[in-house]
Amino acid sequence: MPIKRIPFPKIRIVDHVGAALKGKSSELKQAKQNQQQLKEEAAREEAEQSPCLFNLKWAYEEAATRDSQLEEKLMMTTEVKGIDDGETIVFAVYQKAEKADEEDLFLAEAEGKVSDHKASAEWAFKQDDMSKKSEEVTGSEEMDLGNYYFTVRYE
């Protein structure tokens, strides 16, 4: 169990009086110092912790039409650890290469801000733009998200 989650008991005046009557005041002081030391070590470890981005998710949805073309949105989210609120996270979208010896195709970047240990960014695109960038026009009107992925980075 992480030290931060240990429910250390509060040392009350009654505890001090009871320890004094039993002749164990020094043990109570030592226990209080040990608790404080553990709390400080946990806070220090948390502060030194390297940034961590995990639990990446995305949601795809059709948006409103504009200029007779359907605009679509991709909402990308990640959970963060060790990164302060207000910091910027960069999301990059790629299309997988069809052949193993080719590089994946970079499509776009979007930025999101960290808030409450999460960051998200929205990327609006047109299906036609995706087809042009991939250099392959398919007859399908649905977007296959299995051919796309995104990465996140914190700088």
Average pLDDT over residues 78-100: 90
For domain 52-154, the question of CATH label 3.30.70 is answered with no
Looking at residue 137, its pLDDT comes to 40
- Helix (H) or strand (E) holding 144, with range, is none
- Residue 138 — pLDDT band, cuts 50, 70, 90? very low
pLDDT of residue 146: 74
pLDDT digit string (tens) for 8-58? 888 888 988 888 888 988 988 998 898 889 888 887 877 677 788 899 998
Q: Where are the domains of the chain?
A: 3-48, 52-154
pTM value > 0.95: no
In percent, the amount of the chain with pLDDT more than 90 equals 22
Burial of 151 (0-12, 13-18, 19+ CB in 10 A): middle
User: DSSP readout, 57-98?
Assistant: EEEEEEEEEETTEEEEEEEEEEEEES--TT-EEEEEEEE--S
